[in-house]
Every structure is written in C-alpha cells, then in structure tokens.
Amino acid sequence: MHVGEDLLVLGVLFVIAYGLGRLGKLIGLPAIPIYMLVGLIASPNSKFFPLNFQSADVELVAVFGLILLLFSLGLEFDQDEFYGNAGKLFISGGTRIAINLGVGFALGMWIGWGTREALIIAGMTAASSSAIITKLLIELRRLANRETPTILGIMVLEDVFIAVYLAIVGVVIGGETDIGAIALQLGISFTFLIAMFALARWGGRIVSRLVNTKDDELFTILFFGLAVAFGGIGELLGVSDAIGAFLIGLVLGATRFRGRIEQLALPLRDVFGAFFFLNFGLALDVSTFGEVLVPVGVAVLLTLIVNTLGGQLIAWQTKLTQAEGLNASAMLQNRGEFALILATLATAAGLDPRLTPFAGLYVLSMAIVGPILAVNSEKIGRRVFASRTQQNRSAPARDRMRAEDIALVEAAMSGRDLPPTEVGDDVFDTFPDEAVPDRQQAQAEQQSDQLFERKRDPEY
C-alpha cells in the first residue's frame, strides 16, 4: 500500500490552510470557511490542479471529526444556564428558532427539491454557529456587553434544538414510509434523548466514579472510545452518530472531570474537525454552484433580514436597546458546522445532491458576511439609532437637574442649607455600571484560548 503521495498532498493542503488562515485573521475570518475553501480548490471535481485526491481518502477521519465536534458541543453544554433560565430562553430563543425554522422550510418548499430536502434547508437556516459566535465575542471583547447573556442563552437553547432536530431528521430522511414504524423510531429516539439528559442531570457522581483514572493516556483513550461508541449506538438507533456523540459529551460534561476532558479533547477536535471541513470542501464541485446560486442568494438575503428583525424582537423581549438588539442579531447571523452536518446526513440518505453545494455555498457566504457584520454592528448601531441613543442618554441628565431643583426649592422653603447628601447618589449616577454577566462570561471563556496554555482557535 503506497500512501506517500496522499500524505504529501494532505500535508501540503494543511500548510496552505495555515497560510490562508493567517491571512483570514487579518480581516476577521474564522477558519471554517478557510478549510472548506482549501478542500474546494484541491477537489478533483473542481479541476483547479491535477490532483487525484478524493474525499473518500479521508472519509473515516472526517467522521471522527464530526463525532468530536458534536462531542465537544455536548461537553460544553451549560446545564445550569438551561435549567435555571428555561422560561426566558424558550421565549427569546424559542421564538427566534421557530421563525427561522418556518422561513427556512418555506424557502425549501419554494425551491422545490422535495419535502425532506425542505426540512434539511430549514435546519440549515435555523441554527447559528456557536463556535464562530464564541470566537467573535471573545475577540471583539463583548463578553461584558448587556446583550451577551441573551446571546449565550440562545446558543444553549440551540444546542438542545440541534439534539432534538437531528433525532427527528434522522428518522424522517431514513426512507421509512410506514406510520407505525416512524412513530416507533421517533419513540426510540426521544427515549434515548431523555435517558441521556436525565443521566447528565442526576448521574454525574456515578459517571465520575466510572471514568476516574489518573493516567492521561488511558483517560484520553476512554473518552475518545466512548464518543465513537455512542456515535455508533446513535447510528444503530436511527438518531445519527452525531447525536450519539453529543449525548455522551453531555453526560461526561456533567462529571467533575469536565475541565480535564476539555483540555485533552480540544487538540483532537481541532485536528479531526479540520479534516471534516476539508473533506466537505473536497466533495464540492464549483460547476454545480450555478444551479444553486439563486436559492443560496435568497437564503442569505432571508437570513440577514429575518435575523436582523429578530434581533429587535429579542431586544423588546429582554428589554435591551435597539442598538444592543442589532449587536445580538449580527452575532447570531453566523452559520457553520450544523448546516454542513445536515448536508452530510442528507447525502448519506440519498437526498437531492444539490443540498451539498447549497450548504457549502451558504456556509461560505454566511461565514464571511456574519463576522463582517459583527465587527461593524456597533458602528452601524451608533449611526442608525444615534438620535434615539442621544435622547435616552439625555433623559437621566434632565432627571438629575429636576431633582436638584426640587431639592433646592425645598431647602429654601424650609430655611436651611441643603446638606451634600440630601440628594441621593443615584440621582447623579447618570450611567450606572452594568452588571457583568459572570456566569455567561465564564461559559464563553471556557471555550476561549485563555483557559489552557495551548494556543488554539475555538472554531468548532
């Protein structure tokens, strides 16, 4: 077996990805579209270079990447945030997901590729990229912003949505037509979900005892084996390997070894995740972009409009300003790994092959437009909402002057001098300090470069 040529090509591709990634950082681009772009350039379908490097050559490694991406997502799931603020999350985040899901499904039906394909497109447009959002919040130093707790809370709810949606999609696209069989399959899927969520909620101590070992090598082998094994269990149960990996990550994230697992798992996720995105790019064909150009353009436009308006709805629901709502919507515009995962599942199920170039071009577009909007959202907000912001800022000053006048009149009528403390400090506190969302900030920083000594990009 001669693999020297394949190893050389693969190594060169990752070196090129490194160089392009360094350039991308200068303009704020995340690494996900960079890996996809490198795969697209090297794809034998694109014929840019005389390479015979096929997607099948790295398919198994890419599956490990998919499993570790979802495993890490489950590992970082904030149960306290979800169960503690479930009501608020379902109002703000649930409304947003429902609107995006409905618009996406309508778009899928308008495109006319089929009902199951419309279900896939709806999922692609409904969920944001938690990896890109977390990275942007950290790099733009917005962890202490008033809208950040809302953004992070919505991300937590979207994690639950992804788990449920993958379970439903796995059954629907499986090709089963008998209603009884579909109901049974859905019952199995949701029983699996509920059992694993319950284990994560109340079985943390028991699982901690089972996985306890001081040897890092054996510990790494253990959680990697569990992630792969539960990926297989999920596939056998009909809920997909991705959701199986997510659920075991959720359970292990509830143990006292969560931080240790994250530290050991992140290098594996970064490398195998890069294989997943590179492999997806290798499967793309530039010549097929023409037939999905209009649907992707409409999808991008609808995503931008719906999420921008949705940001104002979120601001109204959570009592944020319009400018803060714009900041939230700009962050939540980003799309990434979930859309590619759905496209991968659709391809494996034999759905319309146009879903692959649709997902690739859609993610490439949103992964470029989203960060650019996030970087400039505060400037746009200051310009668009300048008069309203100025009015809001001048109101406390007027209240302070009115309070001072009243206090002076009362002092004059009573024939005494006004003590310095007569007027409360809160009158002069025109701009009270905003409470820093400690728990939400800690949640985001758990995914940041500063937690561990190894410098990395939290892209997935």
Q: Identify the residue whose tokens are 């609107």.
A: 99
The region of weakest confidence among 62-76, 257-271, 328-342, 434-448 is 434-448
pLDDT of the residue at 452: 41
What is the pLDDT of the chain when averaged over all its residues?
Answer: 79
Residue 446, pLDDT above cutoff 60: no
pLDDT at residue 224, as a whole number = 94
Give residue 219's pLDDT.
92
Asked which of 1-10, 51-60, 232-241, 451-460 is least confident by mean pLDDT, the reply is 451-460
Task: Answer whether residue 135 shows pLDDT above 80.
Answer: no
For residues 228 and 212, give the distance between their C-alpha atoms in angstroms, rounded to a whole number: 19
Q: Which of 82-91, 113-122, 307-316, 437-446 has the lowest mean pLDDT?
A: 437-446
Higher pLDDT, 332 or 420: 332
**Higher pLDDT pick, 233 / 29:** 233
Helix axes 293-318, 148-172, angle to 10 degrees: 130
pLDDT of residue 357: 92
17 within 8 A of 274, measured Cβ to Cβ: yes
User: For 219-233, what is the mean pLDDT?
Assistant: 93
What's the rounded Cα separation, in Å, for the pair 168 and 171?
Answer: 5
Quick one: 248 exposed, middle or buried, by C-beta within 10 A (0-12, 13-18, 19+)?
Answer: buried
Helix (H, G, I), strand (E, B) or coil at 415: coil
Specify the pLDDT at position 424: 42
Q: What is the pLDDT of residues 136-182, one digit of tens each?
A: 777 788 877 888 888 878 887 887 888 888 888 888 887 666 677 77
CA distance 14 to 278: 9
Question: Cα 446–447–449 angle (5° rounding)?
Answer: 100
* Rounded-to-integer distance, Cα 71 and Cα 312, Å: 33
Give the model confidence (pLDDT) of 243-262 as tens digits: 888 889 989 988 889 889 98
pLDDT tens, position by position, 273-305 = 888 888 888 888 888 888 999 999 999 999 999
pLDDT at 431: 40
Q: Which has the minimum average pLDDT: 187-196, 213-222, 228-237, 441-450?
A: 441-450
Residue with tokens 């899927």: 189
- pLDDT tens string 425-443: 443 344 444 444 455 555 5
**What pLDDT was estimated at residue 362?**
93
- Percent of the chain exceeding pLDDT 70 equals 82
What confidence score (pLDDT) does residue 399 get?
A: 54
Question: Which residues are CB-contacts of 68 (< 8 A; sequence separation ≥ 6)?
Answer: 227, 245, 265, 268, 269, 272, 273
Q: Is the pLDDT of residue 408 over 70?
A: no
Instruction: List pLDDT tens digits, range 360-399.
Output: 999 889 888 888 888 888 888 888 887 554 544 444 545 5
Q: Specify the pLDDT at position 407.
A: 53
> For 12-16, 208-212, 268-272, 413-417, which range has the lowest pLDDT when averaged over its residues?
413-417
